[in-house]
Amino acid sequence: MPQKKRRKRTALLVLAGILAALALTAGALLLFAPLRPSGRQVLLCGAPVSTMTNGLRAYVCTDALPDCGIRLEGTTAELDGVRADVGALLRDQDGKQYLPVRSLARKFSLAWGLWNGQQYYARRVSLSEPKAGVQVPVFMYHAVGDDCWGEESLFVRPAELEAQLQYLQENGYETIFFEDLSHIEQYEKPVILTFDDGYDDNYTLLLPLLEKYQMKATIFMIGRDIGGNRKLTQEQVLALTRSGLVSIQSHGWSHHEMETMKRPELLKEMFRSRNAIAAASGRVPYAVSYPNGRSSERTRKIAGWFYTYGIRTFEGVYVTGSDSMLIERIAVKRDTTLEAFQAACQSAGQPTALPQQTP
Ligand SMILES: [Zn+2]
């Protein structure tokens, strides 16, 4: 190689070395820069948590992790039975320990999103195709209360709801979430209880009954109504989810009928409600109940991009393996008798042929 060329190559190598060293030093300086409050909060699995930063990444204090449902022992974190090593922790001058939010989210495959200008990290529920041909009665309720402040038929009396739960318990029925359909073969007599609209009595009157009988229910919340008049607040949505007895799913964003909606509107309904519920409950919803139960082919196609299950109000018993975007329900109203409720439970867990479904 000519000497001139060799000298040029050496100079380039030296320059590259200097640049790499500078970059490493800058990185190390940032990495080990003292943590300071970022002035921002993130919603981590539904819990609002203040973050710290060193100018490079956002960190959460390990003291806040129990509020998010995360347990930490040494450098092993656990969330809903999933354990992950979180690596080295940073310490501030007061001895408090911190973890980078993003790497924590990666370890638990949390979904990231923005809601009302706030970042959220929410758990994803893993779902798989249920074994086909099992009958699962899905009951549809709305509000719970003796006093009706609205459409009377939509209010089930607490005492009557309790009698229904008692019947389920005494007769070996198992209340499940839609996600439990993934392992439906584990249940002998599965039924699903659903409550549409997200009324605040679902927190004050329904939850104590679910706790008493250890039963599960799914609430379909209207995205924009979180915190609205007579509706569940963000805190109640989180508390219900944390109880382990309630799954919060989507009832759209505005509660407008989706059957006649155009594509941009449908996208907004699906996306915004999913975001609002994921932020508030800390779990990404995977089911949508169509307002008034009606949907078009377009509704179901777009709903299917965001959700695995689409629920309607059509009277009938859902059979696993049939169209998962056209799930039938059985309405339980104020005048539904206990005998009618009992009769509707009978097919739970029984095998059957797939039905011919009409939208
Ligand atoms: Zn509704």
> Do residues 183 and 288 both lie within one domain?
yes
* Residue 19 banded pLDDT, cuts 50, 70, 90: confident
What is the Å distance from ligand 1's center to 291 Cα? Answer: 5
> Do residues 268 and 314 both lie within one domain?
yes
**For ligand 1, a single-atom ion, which residues have Cβ within 5 Å?**
196-197
> Do residues 258 and 165 both lie within one domain?
yes
What is the Å distance from ligand 1's center to 271 Cα? Answer: 18
Among residues 10, 307, 348, 305, which one has the least CA distance to residue 193? 348
Q: Would you say residue 202 lies in a domain?
A: yes
What is the Å distance from ligand 1's center to 228 Cα? Answer: 14
Chain CA centroid to CA 328, Å: 22
What is the Å distance from ligand 1's center to 196 Cα? Answer: 5
What is the Å distance from ligand 1's center to 223 Cα? Answer: 11
Instruction: Mark residue 45 as left, alpha or beta (left: phi above 0; alpha: psi -120 to 50; beta: remaining).
Output: left
> Do residues 293 and 168 both lie within one domain?
yes
* Residue 87 banded pLDDT, cuts 50, 70, 90: confident
What is the Å distance from ligand 1's center to 290 Cα? Answer: 8
CATH number of the CATH domain containing 325: 3.20.20.370
> Do residues 112 and 180 both lie within one domain?
no
> Do residues 110 and 148 both lie within one domain?
no
Q: Would you say residue 21 lies in a domain?
A: no
> Do residues 295 and 239 both lie within one domain?
yes
Query: Residue 50 belongs to what domain range?
Result: 36-122
What is the Å distance from ligand 1's center to 108 Cα? Answer: 33
CB atoms within 10 A of CB 148: 13
Q: Would you say residue 223 lies in a domain?
A: yes
> Do residues 188 and 112 both lie within one domain?
no
Buried b (16+ CB within 10 A) or exposed e, 41-62: ebbbbbbbbebbbbeebbbbbb
pLDDT tens digit string along 23-65?
776 666 555 678 899 989 999 999 999 999 988 889 999 999 9
pLDDT tens digit string along 91-147?
888 889 999 999 999 999 999 999 999 999 999 999 999 999 999 999 999 999 999
Domain count of the fold of the chain: 2
Q: What is the pTM of this model?
A: 0.89
